[in-house]
Amino acid sequence: MDETPAVPARQSAAAGATVAASSLAGLTFSKGHGTGNDFVLIADPGDAHEITPEQVARLCDRHVGIGGDGLIRAVPSRFLPEGRDLLEQDPDAEWFMDYRNGDGSLSEMCGNGVRVFVHFLIAEQLVDLGPGETLTIGTRGGVKKVVRTSNGYAVDMGPWEFIFPKEATSKAMDALVSADGLEVARPGLSVSMGNPHTVVALAELKELAATQLFKAPVVDPKPANGTNVEFVVPAEPLVEDGVGTITMRVHERGVGETQSCGTGACAAAVAIRHWAGNTAPNDWHVKVPGGVVDVKFFPGAGGREHVELSGPAVIVATGTLS
Ligand SMILES: N[C@H](CCC[C@H](N)C(=O)O)C(=O)O
């Protein structure tokens, strides 16, 4: 009988390499997510594991690894130079969220990741945090305060910055963004949440669904360090009972399309609120393919307006690397 040819496995980035080939064999890990933005999590209380970008990519690969949008290593801040700097600012920032994108690249901040990171620290019994209590943590985007709520966590994400390139022609948009499925290039507004975002408003949900995000949208002018691109549709009416609602999809730098992006949801609310003018509310629901996160603007330290991100965090499983 003719042998039917084996169907070649889809060549993934790490095809042929296996996690077992790494020096991480025997290490326990957890898998978690926040509204479908998923992460491989590793506790490293002794800073014993220098996880290389190649190892991150293998572990995050959804065919030859565990699979995840990113990897989060929990390590005491005192072991990292950036962590020691933060401890001088705030000695309570005992644990550091060492976040990496799924391709192994670094990012300054990860909003969904912070919630899952704190949930992981509690699950690992590395911290004790009851409902209503606040934990201070260190990140590459600075010190963050995280409150455990009745149904997840609320994170003070700090202030935002508009990233207007000097050649920006207006304060309403600073980039032109094109993507497969979009008939014409659209204006975008670039916002930093510690990491870069470019927010594009679309007219209706049909257009959002038709936008193809298998590859990175083209942003002009090209941001020097890349950018996460959010496509957003404001609800009609935008505000109900004092709360604004946005529907969003995102193509993440170093990952691809994800089910959710916490810093992206904050950037989306900043942009829509900027475009809507000062009639816009402080409270927002941001609907993403993986669920809903809430964004709130409030007067933060130093007279700057801060953004708070809140939402769920789930640990799905725990295992051992072979
Ligand atoms: N998913 C993350 C954002 C990761 C951003 C990363 N892709 C970057 O390169 O900035 C979040 O929930 O905020």
pLDDT, tens digit, 9 for 90 and up, residues 58-86? 999 999 999 999 999 999 999 999 999 99
pLDDT score at 303? 86
Among 105, 228, 270, which residue has the most ligand 1 atoms within 8 Å of its CB, making it the best to mutate? 228
Amino acid identity of residue 266, one-letter, is C
Q: pLDDT confidence of 22, banded at 50, 70, 90?
A: low
Cα separation, 274 vs 233, in Å, equals 14
pLDDT of residue 279: 80
| Coil, helix or strand at residue 302 | helix
User: What is residue 253's DSSP assignment?
Assistant: T
Radius of gyration of the chain, Cα coordinates, nearest whole angstrom = 20
Give the tens place of pLDDT for each residue, 146-202: 999 999 999 999 999 988 765 555 556 789 999 999 999 999 999 999 999 999 999
Q: Per-residue pLDDT for 232 more than 70?
A: yes
The 3-class SS string of 180-222 reads CCCCCCEEEEEEECCCEEEEEECCCHHHHHHCCCCCCCEEECC
β-bridge pairing 196-201 and 175-178 = unpaired
Q: What is the pLDDT of residue 166?
A: 56
Q: Is the minimum distance from the CB of 253 to ligand 1 under 6 angstroms? A: yes
Q: Whose CA is nearest to atom 2 of ligand 1?
A: 110
Q: Ligand 1 within 6 A of 255 CB?
A: yes
Q: Is 278 annotated as a binding residue?
A: no
Position 170 scores a pLDDT of 58
Centre of ligand 1 to C-alpha 6, Å, is: 37
State the average pLDDT over residues 218-234: 95
pTM over 0.90: yes
Residue 5 has pLDDT above 70, yes or no: no
Q: In a mutational test of the pocket of ligand 1, which residue from 98, 116, 195 has the highest number of ligand atoms less than 8 Å from its CB?
A: 195
Which pLDDT score, from 0 to 100, does residue 14 have?
Answer: 47
Confidence of residue 21 (pLDDT cuts 50, 70, 90): very low
Decide if 60 is catalytic: no
- Interacting residues of 66 by C-beta distance below 8 A, sequence separation 6+: 19, 29, 31, 40, 59, 60, 319
Cα-to-centroid distance, 7 and ligand 1 (Å) = 34
ipTM higher than threshold 0.85: yes
